[in-house]
Structure 1
Amino acid sequence: MQVTTQTLGTGPTQVTVTLYLPDAIADFQHPQMRPLAIILPGGGFDFHSQRESEPMALAYAAQGFAAVTVAYRLTAAGPVLPVALWQIATVVAYYHDHAAELHLASDHIILAGFSAGGYLAALYADLWADPALATPQILPVAKRQVSALALAYPVIGLRLGWPKLAAKSRAIHGDFTRHEADQLVTSQNPPTFIWATQTDETVPVQNTLAYLTALTQHKIATRAQIYESGPHGLALARSQTAFPVSFRPTDPTWGERYCRADVAQWLTDELAWLARLWRLDAFWREQ
């Protein structure tokens, strides 16, 4: 596997990405085209969660995908919006432009967001065709398009329980007024997979339900899963991304909350959904 970190774009659209590109299978004699997962980790716009970065990229790569993690704008650099949306557009357009040389299927791009990254992914899915995302550099609308969206315990509206403080909300949206993702869904939104837990103590499940309602109203193909319980930030919901005892030695059982066999099914379900949506069996065999 080739792992490459590079900076894309210029000026306010500049963004650092890390690409995980599986090696070609020599037995096949010709390189296969691969779907691409563009991953936006969470972190409350204070940092980029590593639990939702490389482990997710490797999980997609294990299924034959290429994957890229995006270090989008954080509040320490100024208001997140709309700059982070421009950055995502820059990333999407770059991999459209370089699909042939990287052996990527540009019509099989999924934007996958977790928590705060899910907020950006949802907003991008709403606004990708909007002229506002063509600036400050001209990006043709066709090169800004993704063909599927995956959201894990996402923030959807800044009025829906996170963040708690108005100052934090302001630090995210600044003067950008189009920041309630459930109110911006259109018929151009991509098919969407979304999941959350009812007991999420940080981002209330109402966020997911509001977006699901909007997607349904606009007849967007959607698969949703609401699990009965589990904390925020479950990531893979397996031991690999659960907090170890050394993270909180005064409460050695605390990390066990992040190992949930029932919730861990989300990735299998998402991949099965994608396989149907994109006819992946035929996609692999007919190359």
Structure 2
Amino acid sequence: MFNRRGTLASLTGGLLTSLVAGAALADLKPTQPPKAPMDPTEVLPLWPGDPPGSAGVTAVETLIDRTVAGGLPDRATTHTRKPTLTVFRPAKANGAAVVLMPGGGYERVVSDKEGFETARWLADRGYTCFVLLYRLPGDHWGAGPDAPLQDAQRAVRLVRSKAATMRFDPARVAIMGFSAGGHLAASLTTRFDAKVYDRVDAADDLSARPDLSGLIYPVVSMVEGPGHPGSRKQLLGPSPTPEQVALYSPDQNVTDRVPPVFLLHAADDKTVPVVNSLMMFTALKARAVPAELHVFEEGGHGFGLRSIDGKPVAAWPTLFETFAKRHGV
């Protein structure tokens, strides 16, 4: 039997489907690889002249580009001679700043994955960000294992000195470190007032204490076993003394003056065992320091922002932002 209404609906539906499909096909374009974002051009020298303890340092600073064709930028600096802060200014500042310390096992500083990419994410949410290119302890600086800490202290002081001109509150300065950069951030968190260099200008009259600390899959302990062997060797050499191990294990140096700390780790991290974050969290709670620890089932090591899609660990940046806001940063 002929049903005019049903036939008309069928024809109309088919016509609409064809038109939509045709329009979709017309809009198809060849897939283009994502373009790498431009690097910021605002780079601040950390020190007004040569860094402390430069005499006798002969290492040559080298930028290594490890980017795979068509992939995201992946650059690393070895033998840092001129430490810097790369600035990421937000379109609309929220009045807070973050100093980021990428990882690299204290052999290199991996600037893109854990520095620039995270800084862009934070800047999109209003944070004025500074990515620290710090010196490495194996290059025979006068301060030895304290050379990176000199840079970290100086970075926070220098950032605070820029607060008025860059429109953020000097009392809302956070730090965030990844892997070995997490060890550096944890060291600054616990040893912000250690005198590791002499005053060079007015910026050094400001406090190096961060107002909040984010430790992302951090190296913490220098104790053999839980410690990351590569970072330990670069920092303290093959045979550190018990006193060195204690001084450079941030979990053993927590006081009640430590700022709030956010910790993040993956349980399946085979490079830096999750026990590092557990030890730090335990030490913080023993001193009643405000702290939050997130351990995810999977994620491995060094995931940053680029290896988290589709995994529960993808929640971590928002978790950090929530923690920071709750503590006034």
TM-score relative to the length of structure 1 = 0.80
Structure 2 residue identity aligned to 1:273: F
Output the aligned Cα RMSD.
2.6
- Cα distance in 2 for partners of 1:71, 1:172 equals 25
2:51 to 12, 19, 39: 12
Check the 8 A contact 2:153/2:208 in 1, yes or no. Answer: yes
Matched, 1:61 2:141: no
Asked if structure 1 preserves the Cα contact closer than 8 Å seen for 2:137 and 2:146, the reply is: no
Report percent identity of matched pairs. 25
Higher mean displacement: 259-268 or 159-168: 159-168
What residue is the counterpart of 2:96 in the other structure? 35
For the residues of structure 2 that align with 1:65 and 1:211, how far apart are their CA atoms?
Answer: 26
Q: Which residue of 2 aligns with 1:127?
A: 191
Q: Alpha-carbon deviation of 1:76?
A: 4.8
Instruction: Tell me which residue corresponds to 2:164.
Output: 100
Quote the offset at 1:90 in angstroms: 1.0
Aligned: 1:163 with 2:225:
no
Query: For residue 163 of structure 1, what is the amino acid of its counterpart?
Result: P
Q: Does 1:268 align with 2:324?
A: no
Amino acid of the structure 2 residue aligned with 1:210: M
Letter aligned with residue 227 of structure 2: G
- Partner of 1:224 in structure 2? 293
Give the CA deviation at 1:275. Answer: 1.6
Alpha-carbon distance, 1:39 to partner = 0.1
The amino acid that maps onto 1:4 is E
- Rounded to whole Å, the distance in 1 between the matches of 2:327 and 2:239 is 33
Structure 1: state its 5+ residue gaps. Answer: 26-31, 243-257, 281-287
Query: Aligned partners of 2:140, 2:259: CA distance in 1, in Å?
Result: 29
Indicate how the Cα distance of structure 1 residues 265 and 100 shifts in structure 2: closer, same or farther if over 3 A, else same: same
Secondary structure in 2 matching 1:111: strand
Letter in 1 for 2:84: T
For residues 36 and 187 of structure 1, the distance between their equivalents in structure 2, rounded to whole angstroms, comes to 23
Written as runs of structure 1 = structure 2, the 5 A alignment for 1:133-152 is 133=196, 135-137=197-199, 142-152=206-216
Structure 2: runs of 5+ lacking an equivalent: 1-38, 53-81
Distance 1:55 1:154 in 2: 18
Q: Per the alignment, in what secondary structure is the counterpart of residue 292 of structure 2?
A: strand
The 5 Å alignment of 1:270-285 reads 270-278=320-328
**Contact 2:137–2:235 (CA under 8 A) maintained in structure 1:** no
User: In 2 relative to 1, CA 165–273 (structure 1 residues): closer, same or farther, beyond 3 Å?
Assistant: closer
TM-score, normalised on structure 2?
A: 0.70
Deviation at residue 96 of structure 1 after TM alignment:
1.3
Structure 2 CA distance, aligned partners of 1:63 and 1:189?
A: 26
Alignment of 1:201-280 (within 5 A): 201-236=270-305, 241-242=306-307, 259-278=309-328
Bigger drift between 43-52 and 119-128 goes to 43-52
- Report the equivalent of 1:181: 250
Give per-residue Cα distances to partners, 1:36-67, cap 9 Å, x unaligned: 01000011112212210110100100100010
- Secondary structure of the residue aligned to 2:311 is coil
Structure 2 CA distance for aligned equivalents of residues 166 and 263 of structure 1: 27
Paired residues, what number?
A: 251
The one of 126, 132, 135 equivalent to 1:70 is: 132
Amino acid at match of 2:161: D
What is the distance in 2 between the residues matched to 1:145 and 1:38? 12
Contact 1:78 1:171 in 2 (8 A): no
SS of match in other structure, 1:187: coil
